[in-house]
């Protein structure tokens, strides 16, 4: 995935995070040939965790390898 497809996925993820109910918990997991969670454990939906997630999402690229076996 690259180009406009990764940008569309990032925009959808940003919209999803901004739409979470107050006091819910979330995490973002990047995946490909392996996976990497953003937080060690799910974080509460509050300004600091949302802002951190949005900053990290803006830097994401499609660099984790394919998902095919």
Q: Where are the domains of the chain?
A: 4-59
pLDDT for 65: 58
Rounded to a whole number of angstroms, the CA Rg of the chain reads 13
pLDDT digits 0-9 by tens, 38-63: 999 999 999 999 999 999 998 887 76
62 with 7: CB under 8 angstroms? no
pLDDT for 68: 46
Helix (H, G, I), strand (E, B) or coil at 65: coil
CA atoms within 13 A on the CB side of 3: 1
């Amino acid at each position: 995935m690259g180009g406009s497809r990764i940008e569309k996925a990032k925009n959808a993820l940003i919209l999803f995070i901004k739409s979470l109910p107050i006091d819910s918990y979330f995490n973002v997991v990047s995946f490909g040939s392996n996976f990497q969670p953003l937080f060690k454990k799910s974080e509460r939906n509050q300004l600091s965790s949302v802002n951190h997630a949005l900053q990290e999402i803006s830097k994401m690229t499609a660099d984790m390898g394919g998902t095919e076996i």
